[in-house]
Structure 1
Amino acid sequence: MASAKYSNQSRYTVAVDCIVFGYDGQNLKILLVKRALTPLKGKWSLMGGFIAKNESADEAASRILADLTGLKDIYQEQFYTFTKPDRDTQERTISIAYFSLIDIKKYKESISTAYQAQWFSIKDYPELIFDHGEMVKMAQKRLQYKATSHAILFELLPDKFTIPLLQSLFEDVYETNFDKGNFSRKMLSTGLLQKQKDKDKTGSKKGAYFYKLDKKNYQQNLHKFLKLVPNPNNFI
């Protein structure tokens, strides 16, 4: 015998919204799309959608990201649930928010054009619908905090990278400047980087050595990332 539904309870729509962070070698960016539904059709929005009856929130987020980027198994993390009764002007909608990290240059051709998707600098992006602006700011704070103790920022980089490129990424994520010598010394002291034989000579004749993330010793050295960012509690 089938169990009865909960009586006298309201029914809400549940959605997921995805903040997709990317790095192009110069700027931290977010991926936005033109909203296809009314109200606010044609306005800039995060990529999102409703959770189907037969899927979890994680599965819905993965599906939506795959539709947008053509990619599977990319880094994604659920970070907050937005529940204000009036957050969506159409009807009561609860949104479970995720952030994802991809290397823009590596996956540039995979981004779907069906949603009029476009990359914007995290420092300069258009006004977003509903509470999506709040979602972006909260996701940025979560990214800053998580990166103090986990090597997730490497998800934004190519397989081989230079120390100057890594420093540029950290500076953009944390909106600050790091001393060149001090940053290099601290980063190398983590034991997470494997020096390569070849160099990137696009910036100068001398060039800068390429490095790779040492995935073998990844877990045991993660705690050393805490030394890279001053006052990590500011990013909680």
Structure 2
Amino acid sequence: MNETDFLNDYDPSAFQRPSVAVDLVLLGIRAGRPAVLLVKRDQLPHVGRWALPGGFVGIDESLDAAAARVLREKAGMAEAHLEQLYTFGAVERDPRMRIISVAYLALLTEQAFDAALGVKPALLPAAIHVAWAGETGGPVDMLAPGGEKLTLAFDHADILATAMLRLRGKLDYSDVAFALLPELFTLRQLQDVHEAILGTALNKPAFRRRQLDKGWLMATGAYESGAAFRPAELYRFQRLMAD
């Protein structure tokens, strides 16, 4: 039998097909803390719980295309840098049926985060509270703007915990911090991002020395406006040198 005959005779129903979904972790820094955009489920199961924006992957749709579609439809964003975070495939992660979810991570500047809230006011900006130090790993809590703890649907709390662990692990050697900043930023803003992700205060002189020694920062000669005291110099990330 050749391959053409084999494919013509092949029975796709011979094996069970799990459904595949994508879930988006749209993460930014707000009020000095990592925050994520959530949607409230209006359908069973887990109706009334908060969830990451997500959806099923169409049979003729790639994973990246599905993630881009969910980004447009549920977050109101035309585009964002989406990268695969992890695949979640616990057998009973969804009570309806066997559903495998591919989680995507998108790091948003404060402007992009606020713009999404303006376009989709039903989105909730929830703060991520991480109780563990360093790269220990473990559960995280999601807090509403008023401070109350939120109950998340499915295994979305696990997805968020994985996102925070990934960010902490990549923070020192990659450019993830700069994805959360505007094109021009101060060293104080860069340190604020690091402290928000790490959940701890950093020594100012040591932090600045280390960042400047990496060769990733280019001083622009421009200064921030509207500062109450002496304005700080603005820097730009040198992407080519980081690569």
TM-score tier, shorter chain, comes to 0.7 to 0.9
Q: Specify whether residues 160 and 100 from structure 1 end up closer, same or farther in structure 2 by C-alpha distance, changes over 3 A only.
A: same
Q: Deviations over 1:166-199 (max 9, x none)?
A: 1011011011221000101111111111112222
Query: Are 2:10 and 1:4 aligned?
Result: yes
Gap regions ≥5 residues in structure 2: 130-141, 144-149
What SS does the aligned partner of 1:136 have? Answer: helix
Q: Is the 8 A contact 1:25 1:165 kept in 2?
A: no
Residue matched to 2:185: 161
Query: Are 2:59 and 1:70 aligned?
Result: no
Q: Is the 8 A contact 1:14 1:50 kept in 2?
A: yes
Greater CA drift, 46-55 or 68-77: 68-77
- Root mean square deviation of aligned Cα: 2.1
Question: Which residue, 143, 163, 166 being the options, matches 2:167?
Answer: 143
Residue matched to 2:88: 82
What SS does the aligned partner of 1:122 have? Answer: strand
Q: Is the 8 A contact 1:16 1:97 kept in 2?
A: yes
Q: Specify whether residues 10 and 96 from structure 1 end up closer, same or farther in structure 2 by C-alpha distance, changes over 3 A only.
A: same
What SS does the aligned partner of 1:166 have? Answer: helix
Give the drift of 1:26: 2.6
What SS does the aligned partner of 2:108 have? Answer: strand
Q: Is the 8 A contact 1:18 1:61 kept in 2?
A: yes
Give the drift of 1:94: 1.1
Question: Which residue, 44, 51, 55 being the options, matches 2:50?
Answer: 44
Quick one: distance in 1 between partners of 2:173 and 2:187?
19
What amino acid sits opposite 1:167 in the alignment?
A: Q
What SS does the aligned partner of 2:165 have? Answer: helix
Question: Which residue, 194, 200, 221 being the options, matches 1:197?
Answer: 221
What SS does the aligned partner of 1:87 have? Answer: coil
Q: Is the 8 A contact 2:93 2:99 kept in 1?
A: yes
Residue matched to 2:138: none
Q: Specify whether residues 170 and 77 from structure 1 end up closer, same or farther in structure 2 by C-alpha distance, changes over 3 A only.
A: same
Query: Are 2:127 and 1:121 aligned?
Result: yes
Give the drift of 1:115: 7.4
Quick one: distance in 2 between partners of 1:122 and 1:196?
33
Q: How many residues are treated as equivalent by the alignment?
A: 219
Residue matched to 2:29: 23
Quick one: distance in 1 between partners of 2:43 and 2:9?
35
Residue matched to 2:139: none
Tell me which of the two structures has the higher relative contact order, counting C-alpha pairs closer than 8 angstroms and 6 or more residues apart: 1
Q: Deviations over 1:108-128 (max 9, x none)?
A: 224475571111111242120
Identity of aligned pairs, percent? 31
TM-score (norm 2): 0.82
